[in-house]
Amino acid sequence: MFARDVRYLYQSYGSYVTVGQSDPFRATDTQRNKYRIVSPEHQFRDLVMASLHDVERAVSNGIPPPKLDLPYPDTPEFITENLLKLLELTPNPRHKFVLKNLIKHLHQFINETSITTEEWMTAIQFLTRVGQKCTTTRQEFILFSDILGASALVDAINNPPVSGGTESSVLGPFFLEDAPEVQFGDSIASEGKGEYMFVEGRVLSTDGTPIPGATIDTWETDAFGYYDAQYKNFEKPDCRGRLHSGEDGRYGYRAVVPVAYPIPGDGPVGEMLVALGRHNMRPNHLHFAIEAPGYNKLKSLVVKLQDIKDEAEARKRGFPKGDSFKLLQFDIVLVTEEQSKAAFEKFAKEQAQKASVRF
């Protein structure tokens, strides 16, 4: 209940009940029994309690207070030390490890930069706005992660290179789960979305064995530099699709040539780039996300194209008009889950050794 509501209740109901007497306390016993004579404070209290009649009492999460010696946090050192002691109670080892390192580095950052209260509140308000900008078709937090290099770093750590395997890349903020199914040779783009392009290749293992039935999600911008979800009148997917590799590992589909485009500048991340003096353009590329049982999921970007000028070939590949198109030939090489796990564990061990030397 807001303060102004409390004042309103008090002013509206905070008066004595009178029974024809100038002084209610001179009323007869009969009058006192018939009428309730209360002070403004009592009447207000009764009204408030009545309004809270159906409110459930606040309860704890059931975890008892820790039996730890925690000094009063009146210095920066005690604040960090107390929190690290509390984190020792974390039952999940991985959670404990990640949060302890996060707290150490976050507190170290705050101490080293002498962050002001105004700067900290600005950061909190910025993150709040990032969250508020997110929708079911726009992920401002992924965009924020991307411009900080965090997305690329996490992807590189979790997908270390395996000899012969296709290099992984970031997912990006415009992946959607509802891509339509397309058959071999079909188009993922509606007519008029851009210059024709045909994409073909094979899905293979590192030893060259074809992988049938691999699920391939693909998406791109149109010739105007927009993903479908960026249009205000967005109703159904366009310039994106989902297909599967054949028995020989082959796949193929029609698309349009993607163009260089700016990342959205109408939100807090776009404002941040301006404040940092950074441009917001991305080079043209085509997105792939490939999955197959027993293999590590791959996300990749492709930009290398060939010029084809042959009307008969254009018709053969399903393009309705013109005599030219771009051709993208791209073999996707997946690594097995075992190969990926071994590479990741080797990388993690090397990083842990480096960290022990630094700290």
Q: Where are the domains of the chain?
A: 3-51, 76-114, 143-342
Q: Residue 354: its pLDDT value, please?
A: 78
* pLDDT over 60 (residue 34): no
Which tokens go with 281?
Answer: 């353009």
* pLDDT over 90 (residue 53): no
Q: Residue 50: its pLDDT value, please?
A: 66
DSSP secondary structure letters along 121-144: HHHHHHHHHHHHH--SS--HHHHH
Q: Which residue has the tokens 């005690």?
A: 78
Instruction: Lowest mean pLDDT of 34-38, 130-134, 178-182, 227-231, name the range.
Output: 34-38
Q: Which CATH class is domain 143-342?
A: mainly beta
Mean pLDDT of 314-337: 94
* pLDDT over 70 (residue 42): no
Q: Residue 301: its pLDDT value, please?
A: 80
Mean pLDDT of 91-108: 96
pLDDT in tens, 186-230: 999 999 999 999 999 999 999 999 999 999 999 999 999 999 999
Distant-in-sequence, close-in-space partners of 199: CB < 8 Å, separation ≥ 6: 218, 252, 253, 254, 255, 286, 328, 330
Amino acid residing at 281 = M
**Roughly what angle, to the nearest 10 degrees, separates helices 140-147 and 150-158?**
80
- State which H helix or E strand residue 5 sits in: helix 3-13
Q: Residue 76: its pLDDT value, please?
A: 93
Q: Please tell me the distance from the alpha carbon of residue 72 to that of residue 63, in angstroms, as a whole number.
A: 21
Q: Residue 81: its pLDDT value, please?
A: 95
* pLDDT over 80 (residue 44): no
Query: Cα dihedral angle (88, 91, 93, 99), rounded to 10 degrees?
Result: -60
Q: Residue 260: its pLDDT value, please?
A: 93
* pLDDT over 50 (residue 3): no
* pLDDT over 90 (residue 258): yes
DSSP secondary structure letters along 65-122: PP--------SHHHHHHHHHHHHTT-SSHHHHHHHHHHHHHHHHHHHHHT--HHHHHH
- State which H helix or E strand residue 299 sits in: strand 298-302
Highest mean predicted confidence (pLDDT) among 18-27, 174-183, 243-252, 302-311 = 243-252
Bridge-based pairing of strands 215-219 and 286-291 is: antiparallel
DSSP secondary structure letters along 150-177: HHHHHHHHHS---TTPPPP----TT--S
